[in-house]
Structure 1
Amino acid sequence: MERMLRRKKRVRWKRVMLLIFILMIGSVSAYATYQYKQGISLGKDGKFNDDEKVAKAFQGEDVKFGRINVLLLGSDSRGEEHSRTDSIMIAHYDQDTHQSKLISIMRDTYVNIPGHGKQKINAAYAYGGPELLRQTIKENFDIDVNYYAIVDFEGFSKIADIIAPDGIEVDVPHEMKYGIGTTINPGKQTLHGDKLLGYVRFRHDNLSDFGRVQRQQEVISKLKDQALSIGSIIKLPKILGVINPYVDTNLDTPTLFSLGKDLLTNKSKDLKSIRTPVDGSFTNEQFKNAGAVLSINLEQNKSALNAFLSS
């Protein structure tokens, strides 16, 4: 009799614990949904809020776990369906090693664009959107891109302020003002929104686009650190909700949550970065059909990128 009572108590306790667990999961899910929707409402002015997106045309292989490559595009759109891309990057994340890597592709890199011949690589997006750019990267550098994310300039300013509300600290080497709509004085300082955008866009100095790529990689790395320093999965739904209207991407919400959770709950390593063309692999050329370009040693760059992603 006593044994039966103990058994009933154990069964009852298991049921209670199961019920508590189900209620906790339900509460967390409801809270996450609420936070996500609240975030979306804060980003209601985003350019891509009602955008149909071009996800169906993008043919990158869907990867839920493993090594993921995301094409990051900065768009200087002035109303065109597809403008030329101001910045082209590939964000690589290995969910096994938790290593993040960033490839910057110089926009004047002279490559073959499928169906259009030799052109600057940033023309691929203007001709055929992210899918043609994906094909161009695969054909020239043999890198498979799985997803894409497009951010326009206004969106970058908003996202930077959301991720880093206290700003990003930088050391400005000289005055920057031409072509960026603002003036940034030299020296160590903390930049927000439009000033930070100007910092990563400026290219009218002796380093030209090479300096701009360096600054883009610097700011992306610091934004990544800021995002992870938030330190709480609880805030993740709201952050993703706020960012969503400012980004056109084929990454679905569950995958975004999964990646965000993985980055926050695992010790992410320092961001590694590379630029292509790599040093010593290109010459400055001038062509009638494309203007000033970077004529590259394709095999040397393919080899360097493959070694970078494999290390």
Structure 2
Amino acid sequence: MKKPIRILIITLLSILLVIVSAGCYAAISFQSAREESEAKLSPINQNFTGDEQTSDKELTVMVVGNDSRDDDEDQGRSDTLMVGHYDGKTKQPKLISIMRDSYMTFPDGSLDKINAAYAYGGAQMTKEVLNTNFDLPINYYVVMDFKEFSDIIDELYPKGVKIDAEKDINLDGVDILKGEQVMDGNTLLQYARFRMDEEGDFGRIRRQQQVMDALIDQSKDLIPIWELPQVAGKIVGKIDTNVPTSLFIDLAKDFLTGKVKPLESLSVPIESSWNFNDDTPSGSVIELDASKNADAIQEFLKDTK
């Protein structure tokens, strides 16, 4: 064998060895960190069946936030419901925020608040309600409680998150003053979940979108790429999700390297598509025009290259 060819083969084999070694290290780091975390996967979500992806470059993830405190009268109901969409080809993240009191049709034909779906049937039931009302396919789910959110923020953003607070807020012993500041995980959580004012859930949805926008905008260069598997393992271990490990890491790489475009957001129900109704079996609800909101969602998710 000629020397140049032999050198080429040795070089290629060396590169392959490095790639394989790096992959093994990443897998071991991820699994080790996940096993050491505080994972408590919910049995209610073991039957989740994600809708088929329309493209291997696009995915839709349903994010459920749960307030799991024992004194919560709505124990088991979702406190926050968002649907994230990411196009890996265009690098465009999109976020749909759905108000918790939205009155929707359930698969059996009954009507109830969307936040009751999680209590009735976990992530699977919540997905089916979104399918039924908005023809919105869901590929994956993520469920986390308030403490997990706070811990994850502190893990990913050890120096805090910059936020321009839109108003003075006090919630669960946390005082937030209007203006620019750096928030830790718990402070950011209280800012995002506050709704005890005249705006109610409408103001809270706006602040949640502000928080998500800040998290994405400030995600670049948070951690070195070689630390990603270990950090990803810690995060995945703290949440209930069916997002595959490889996909989770691939997505994180895009965000951490600043490859993604600015976040686009949509609030549901959209303007002029809803009414308050205080006289229902579910109490005070937001009645919405499902068809009008479904059209708005489909238009929002259209490819905009």
Give the TM-score, by structure 1 length.
0.88
Partner residue in 2 for 1:160: 153
Residue 76 of structure 2, aligned match among 83, 98, 112: 83
8 Å contact from structure 1 (residues 82, 125) kept in 2? no
Counterpart residue identity of residue 144, structure 1: P
State the number of aligned residues: 300
Residue 25 of structure 2, aligned match among 31, 34, 50: 31
For the pair 1:60 / 2:29, whether they are aligned, the reply is: no
Q: What pairs up with 1:127-166 in 2 under 5 angstroms? A: 127-166=120-159
Q: CA deviation at 1:22?
A: 2.4
Q: CA deviation at 1:18?
A: 2.4
Return 5+ residue gaps in structure 1 as ranges.
1-6
Partner residue in 2 for 1:72: 63
For the aligned residue pairs, the C-alpha RMSD in angstroms reads 2.3
Q: CA deviation at 1:242?
A: 1.6
- Deviation by residue 1:47-97 (Cα, 9 ceiling, x = unmatched): xx1536555411212547222110001011236997110100000001121
Change in Cα spacing, 1:40 to 1:226, as seen in structure 2 (3 Å) is farther
Q: Which has the larger radius of gyration?
A: 1
8 Å contact from structure 1 (residues 106, 277) kept in 2? yes
After alignment, is 138-147 or 56-65 more displaced? 56-65
Change in Cα spacing, 1:40 to 1:141, as seen in structure 2 (3 Å) is same
Residue 89 of structure 2, aligned match among 96, 101, 105: 96
Give, in whole Å, the separation in 1 of the partners of 2:16 and 2:112. Answer: 57
Q: What pairs up with 1:1-311 in 2 under 5 angstroms? A: 8-37=2-31, 39-40=33-34, 44=37, 46=38, 49-51=39-41, 54=44, 56-63=46-53, 65-78=56-69, 83-115=76-108, 117-178=110-171, 180-230=172-222, 232-264=224-256, 267-310=259-302, 311=304
8 Å contact from structure 2 (residues 221, 257) kept in 1? no
Counterpart residue identity of residue 48, structure 2: F
SS of aligned partner of 1:279 = coil
8 Å contact from structure 1 (residues 55, 250) kept in 2? no
SS of aligned partner of 2:265 = strand
Return 5+ residue gaps in structure 2 as ranges.
none
SS of aligned partner of 2:177 = coil
Q: CA deviation at 1:300?
A: 1.5
8 Å contact from structure 1 (residues 82, 129) kept in 2? no
Change in Cα spacing, 1:220 to 1:30, as seen in structure 2 (3 Å) is same
8 Å contact from structure 1 (residues 106, 213) kept in 2? yes
8 Å contact from structure 1 (residues 163, 226) kept in 2? no
Give the TM-score, by structure 2 length.
0.90
Q: CA deviation at 1:232?
A: 4.3
